[in-house]
Structure 1
């Protein structure tokens, strides 16, 4: 059995290692446009902020590692076309410009995503950069060395983390977003208010509810103009969002309007013997019982692993995702899962309510303790929990992993209120914060 894998970051790396483990006699061939694989882009901000001293530490595998277990890795090779009917691909060697064909028995598409780059006036000026891969990371760090005024456009997780990192390096940092709040997709106002205060206290300028219109400069950018104001900039980082990198299969496979490949619960696409995983795909979003585009490394590694399990026979179903995520902003440890209250209220299927608890995470007789804020979102009709968020200066983010399981298993407020959690004064109180929030909802 010959398996060709196109693209090899998180989903691709997980797929090939699991395929080779389960089918050691198979021929596994990787085609990757870059000269590296398995790069953890979520660590770029840590590298910029010098929490991590070298960019190379953000790799967790390499072409050599995969070759050592019998996988043929063709780096700097771009797949130009796929003939699904005849099971063959056209490939270009980017080093020699040679174009050749290859054939497969099974094809794995782990094409990933690419940053959204609007067609801004002045967008081609120097020192306007993206934040996605290894080359971007090195470019950002190099260009930021001599930059005084840094503008980050997009206040999702990546933009927020970069803004913190630049401020920690002594840069005059501006964070711009068209939304009225930072991280609006992931957190409700009670939580973003705290995070925004952290930034303001550190001197980061938050420009919210404004849309970038154009960039000005001669060769290099020196000004960012929004629909309301203008800001000096020596370096601009675009963190507006991501789109599936699926031009290769456009019109050939079933996709969402944005290009995300539609897959079934066994990672199979609409073409026979063709599988897909990671940021190029849809995911089953359990809280809303629909399919969505949610590019996360956690989704990618699970889906890539499932391809290895289901390559020959459908064996293990994809359980879907709650979109669980976490972030640390200065001293604040934040995590969320499922739907926010704001998003849930815009989903007509739910009669949404919420409950918030603010309590010290462990008994006050302990030498130290910190306040935590935890919120539950639920449907008043079904009583099922739809989402939750937590914030504290103590790392309590694992509560949202627990709540992710609660949502996945469609538990109700009543069930969560009486769920058994341990008590030990070093760690918590007799009633877990999750219990308390559910009891308050009752």
Structure 2
């Protein structure tokens, strides 16, 4: 009997969980995992711990190693970016990011866990050097090098949500840190005044300069960033770390499966997409949230893993 072919796009929490769950649950399956980055399954949620020296090294901030999946009989392709889905032939076209060569992968079931990309700021000067993003393996290495660089004295962190982690890391490294946000208080989108007031006080007490109610209008500098331009003036800096949220990695899916206007993948309550035999899980979907009583993005490793387990459990049901 020919093996049932399952292709999974994305090697982070959802994709990793789905791959191993399929191999644990079913016999006679062929599992192929496609990951566009060189480093497989970096855990961005562990970036702060790595930057503070609380892990055994950057190469251990991960869900699994490629050899783990191969040892279970799965197929792992890193540096392999899915670029197109042909729903008539049930194939995924993927490109080798180093050579540009393409290859088609046949599937009976397809699970998309393409995740999100860190959002940047589309403002003048955004292409200057020393403007970093707070997500992923490569940016983690750069931020780590920057915190150890004595020539970098002033650091501007944009985004008082996840940006608080970057601000804390840089303050502990002895940098003069300014935390910039267009909101009135840190974490105001997540917490009420009782808690945001505490964050305000603690951050200030630990030497972090708060620049709230500041809208970033651009960056200035000669080759590399020297100041953040805001609607309240300039903030001098040697390095900018942007942590203003994420955008779903779904541009390549337009015209193939249905997406919401904000780019997130449309699924039903069972994580089926608009195309038969294609499922979607993880940060790129817009699942129904029972407490909120509406669909919301849930960028959570735990949620992605639960979604993967549910999809795999029912994967071959008609």
Q: Give the TM-score range, shorter chain.
A: over 0.9
Aligned to 2:76: 73
Aligned to 1:33: 36
Per-residue deviation, 1:118: 2.3
Report which stretch shifted further, 61-70 or 29-38: 29-38
Aligned to 1:275: 279
Aligned to 1:155: 160
Q: What secondary structure does 1:2 align onto?
A: strand
Instruction: Name the count of aligned residue pairs.
Output: 313
> Structure 1: 5+ residue runs without aligned partners?
315-442
CA contact (8 A) 1:82 1:248 kept: no
Q: What secondary structure does 1:174 align onto?
A: strand
Aligned to 2:125: 122
CA distance in 1, matches of 2:241, 2:298: 22
Q: What secondary structure does 1:29 align onto?
A: strand
CA distance in 1, matches of 2:56, 2:212: 32
CA distance in 2, matches of 1:255, 1:37: 26
State the Cα deviation string for residues 148-193 of structure 1 (Å, max 9, x = none): 111110011x211111111111110111111111111211011010
Aligned to 1:421: none
CA distance in 1, matches of 2:276, 2:206: 54
State the Cα deviation string for residues 128-163 of structure 1 (Å, max 9, x = none): 01121111100111123222111110011x211111
CA contact (8 A) 1:216 1:223 kept: yes
Aligned to 1:359: none
CA distance in 1, matches of 2:261, 2:43: 28
The yes-or-no answer on 1:111 pairing with 2:114 is: yes
Per-residue deviation, 1:225: 1.1
> Structure 2: 5+ residue runs without aligned partners?
none
Which of structures 1 and 2 has the bigger CA Rg? 1
CA distance in 1, matches of 2:171, 2:184: 21
CA distance in 1, matches of 2:178, 2:132: 15
Q: What secondary structure does 2:31 align onto?
A: strand
Which segments of structure 1 move beyond 3 Å, counting only runs of 4 or more?
none
Aligned to 1:171: 175
Aligned to 1:22: 25
Q: What secondary structure does 2:46 align onto?
A: helix
Q: Structure 1 residue aligned with 2:135, among 128, 132, 135?
A: 132
Relative to the length of structure 2, the TM-score reads 0.95
The yes-or-no answer on 1:214 pairing with 2:218 is: yes
Per-residue deviation, 1:53: 5.3
The yes-or-no answer on 1:144 pairing with 2:154 is: no
CA contact (8 A) 2:134 2:166 kept: no
The yes-or-no answer on 1:261 pairing with 2:270 is: no
